Amino acid sequence: MTIATLTALLFIGSLAAGFLGSLTGMGGGVVIVPLLTIFMGVDLRYAVGASLVSVIATSSAAAAAYVKDGYTNIRIGMFLEGATTMGAMAGAVLAAFVPVAAISIVFGLVLLWSAYLSMRPRAESSTSELPDRLATWLRLDSTYPTPDGPQAYHVRGVPGGYAIMLVAGILSGLLGIGSGALKVLAMDQVMRLPFKVSTTTSNFMIGVTAAAGAGIYLNRGYVDPTLAMPVMLGVLVGALLGAKVLVGAKPRVLRIIFAVVLVALGAQMIYHGVTGN
């Protein structure tokens, strides 16, 4: 395979990953790392380094559009970033001591869990529910745009959401993903944010989380520019396309496709981890 062919394949695969990651709020890392390790034979730690760079690109591209449209809850994102950043730094440090086979198995399990989350129905929050005292004190309640005008929502379950964000940060630094699946889980299921607010705020957060771990990987020499550049550009273009589609999209079909891909890749990663390949 020539360098040009490899670069083109990396760009196309990364474009699809960025598009799906932008729509679901999970980031493109859940696809990038298996793509590089399973199909292209890249060492796992170099794949994680390239993935972290691509996650930063995903967040930078999509978050600006979502903030402009009024979907992202910036106060929640900034508040929860404290937990994810601490976790990401801890995960990146652990990555140097955890065996590659163990990382592969954990990554496979995260992929399967992400597939489950992408198919799980999410109930919208209701304005009739009583506000959460801590959320009110932190002024986390907000509104988001709908066809009928701005819709108000209340935030709740702040301590539980913060704890899940810490775990998401550790997985991000360890596995090279934005851990958007756990972020969406925390905000949508625990903190009861509307789905579009959860996914857009997750996109806003994953870049900061990934940057905390990327610095450590860069310092250890695990970020290869020849690998990271086409991946980053592909994810960047895909994330911009996804941001344009999300506003009017009904992503049910995309979730099904995404879940099938995640299950296949997760099973492969677990297999490679168990067999030691």
pLDDT above 90 covers a percentage of the chain that reads: 2
Mean pLDDT, all residues of the chain: 79
Note the pLDDT tens digit of each residue in 46-89: 888 888 888 787 777 677 777 888 888 999 988 998 888 888 88
Residues in a beta bridge with 22:
none
Question: How far apart, in Å, are the Cα atoms of 71 and each of 37, 86, 119, 184?
Answer: 35, 26, 22, 14
For residues 158-170, give the mean pLDDT: 87
- Answer whether residue 109 shows pLDDT above 80: yes
Residue 254 pLDDT class (50, 70, 90 cuts): low
Q: Structural domain boundaries of the chain? A: 3-275
What does pTM read for this prediction?
A: 0.70
> Given this model, what pLDDT does residue 76 score?
92
Residue 90 pLDDT class (50, 70, 90 cuts): confident
For residues 234-255, give the mean pLDDT: 73
